[in-house]
Each structure stands twice: as C-alpha cells, then as structure tokens.
Amino acid sequence: MDQATVSRSKHGEDASKEVRAQHAEKQSPLELFNSPEANAFRAEIIRTGRKLWDRQYVDGNGGNISVRLGAEFVLCTPTMLSKADLETADICLSDLSGKILAGDRTLTSELLLHLEIYKANSKAKAVVHCHPPYATAFAMTGTVPPNGLVPEYEVFIGPAAVAPYETPGTQAFAETVLPFVHVHNAILLKNHGLVCWSDTVTHAEWLCEIMDTYCKTYLIAKQIGQPLGVIPDDKIDDILRRKQWMGLPDARMARIGGDPRGADPKNTSEIVELVKRVTGRREGRS
C-alpha cells in the first residue's frame, strides 16, 4: 500500500470504502468483527477515547464512541470504563437494535442514542458523545452559541441544535435528537452534553473539539466587553458553497439553493484526485 493510499484510508476518504462496505454486508457478524476493517476501527476508537479523556471531555466512565461496521452493525465502547483505559478487547459489536453480538463487556445504554442517529441518517458513519465543559455549559442553558464569528466553526458545524432533556440511557432520550439529526452534525443535549456524527470516528471527535473550543472562545470574547465582529453574509455564502462541495449539512444551505442535509459531494473523484496530487507532492512525486 503506497503512502497516498494509507493517507486516504486514515482520513476516511478512500473511494473504495463503499466497495468494501458492500463486501462486508455478505460477511457474518463474527467475520466482520474479526476483519481487518474492524481492527482498524477498534484502534481508531481507542485513540479517540484517549483524546476525549486528555481534553477533559469525559469524566469517570462518561462518553461513548461508535462506528458503523457494514450496513447492519456497529462497533462501540462499553459501559463502566474510562475512555482513557480502552483496550482492543473492550470494544463490543451490536446490531442496529442494540443487541450485543460480540465482546465480553456490557453495552452502554447510551448506545441507543447512536443507533437512532444511524437509523435516521445514512450519512452518519460514526458517532461520538461526550460532556465537554464549555459546550455542556451552553447545553445547561438550552442555547447554542451565535453563528458568524469564526470560519472553522461555520465550515465544519454551522448552526448547532439543542435537543430537549430526557433521562440518559432511555429510548426517549435517544429519540430527542431525531428532529435535528439530518441538518445538524453537532447537537447539544440539554442539561447533559454533546453528540456529533461524521464520516469517521476521528472526524466526529474533531467536531466535538471544534464545538467546545468555539463555545469557550465565544465566552472569552464576550468578557472583553467590546462588540464582536461578525462575518458578512456574502462571506458566509462562500463558506456554504464550500460546505456544499464537501457534502456537509447546514441549516442555512437553502440560501445558496443547496440541500441543508448536505448532498453527497458531486465530485468525489475530484476530491480523491486532489488528495492524490497533494500527497504525491509531499512525497516529492509529480
């Protein structure tokens, strides 16, 4: 496998992913659980758990991480384990109804939240739920930070949503995100925390970082006591066009005639070619 292929696989941008997923559908749950793809996902989940803990987004046994495996299964973190201490054998296999199929540990009841997201939105390939302090502070107030202040937040998240409070771990709690999950990839859970979905576990964790840092920066900026500068609408439209190209959801997409759910990128082959060119250039190839 050349470096460009490694790089694409690592970042979940490999065009052959869909082919692999189709092949995966024909395998039994146990074959899938023991496949190289599952091993790679387990390693990614463990790395991500460590990041969440290092960033103080999860305390005690809080937070959970999952990823789709084939069309019908999910690899996920278990209950009662710190995200800093995850090991390969701790990762469980579940079907989309929450039935455990492999793994020695007990599933987290918050997996129900992940499963509702997967069932509602086929674009969600990985879900990360955590309790980052600044985002959770906004969740306590039932408000989202205002938009138009930092481009990175606008590109990767845009308008966030707040799902109403329900008792964690229940089916009612899991369903609170359903009205938001097509148009928002970052959802604050009232009086609880944050859940983000994306195409890979790594990217879902990036969204948690972007959300929490944005909430923190906004609160600091407010303390300066000066009016906040706002990105002009026409520049936000530039960002929306970029998001459309990347296939990201944004509730404001109708402004530029786009799909708020984030249409599939029309130019996947163009993106793959771009990655090839960039990674080739880094290695000194033309």
Site for Zn ion in 180-209 (CB under 5 A): 193
Q: Which is nearer to Zn ion, 159 or 193 (CB)?
A: 193
Q: Residue 14 — φ and ψ, nearest 5°?
A: -80, 125
Report the nearest approach of Zn ion to the CB of residue 75 (Å).
Answer: 19
Report the nearest approach of Zn ion to the CB of residue 207 (Å).
Answer: 16
Residue that the structure tokens 């600044």 belong to = 134
For Cα atoms 207, 143, 201, give the angle at the middle one, nearest 5 degrees.
15
Write the CA distances from 236 to 16, 147, 151, 154, 260, integer angstroms. Answer: 33, 10, 8, 8, 14
The angle that helices 201-224 and 133-141 make with each other, rounded to 10 degrees, is 70
SS3 102: strand
Task: Name the active-site residue from 110, 116, 154, 209.
Answer: 110
Report the nearest approach of Zn ion to the CB of residue 131 (Å).
Answer: 6
- Any alpha helices (H) in 130-265, and if so which ranges? 133-141, 151-156, 171-175, 201-224, 233-246
How big is the site for Zn ion, counted in residues (CB under 5 A)? 1
Site for Zn ion in 43-72 (CB under 5 A): none
Active site residue 110: yes
Position with the least CB separation from Zn ion: 193
Q: Which is nearer to Zn ion, 145 or 193 (CB)?
A: 193
Q: Can you say how many angstroms the Cα of residue 63 is from the centroid of all Cα atoms in its chain? A: 13
Report the nearest approach of Zn ion to the CB of residue 51 (Å).
Answer: 17
Q: Residue 189 — φ and ψ, nearest 5°?
A: -105, 115
Binding site for Zn ion (CB under 5 A): 193
Task: Please list the active-site residues.
Answer: 110
